[in-house]
Amino acid sequence: MKHEWKKTSLPRVIHNVTRNIFMLIQLRKPRMRCPYLWPKLLKEFGCL
């Protein structure tokens, strides 16, 4: 996988996935306060 003609690192992929999830949450539930840490986010959605 490449990003801007560079090899994509795992941290970059994780960052992109996280950013897209937060953007989706803000779009679907704009009043919801979204925690940035994954464990807190999963707990908020009842996944844990």
Tens of pLDDT, residue by residue over 16-45, are 888 888 888 888 877 877 767 778 777 777
Tens of pLDDT, residue by residue over 2-22, are 556 667 788 888 888 888 888
Amino acid at 17: V
Is it the case that residue 48 has pLDDT exceeding 60?
no
| Residues 6 or more apart in contact with residue 13 via CB below 8 angstroms | 1
**Given pLDDT bands bounded at 50, 70 and 90, which one contains residue 1?**
low
Amino acid at 19: R
The pLDDT value given to residue 12: 84
CA pseudo-torsion sign 17, 26, 35, 42: negative
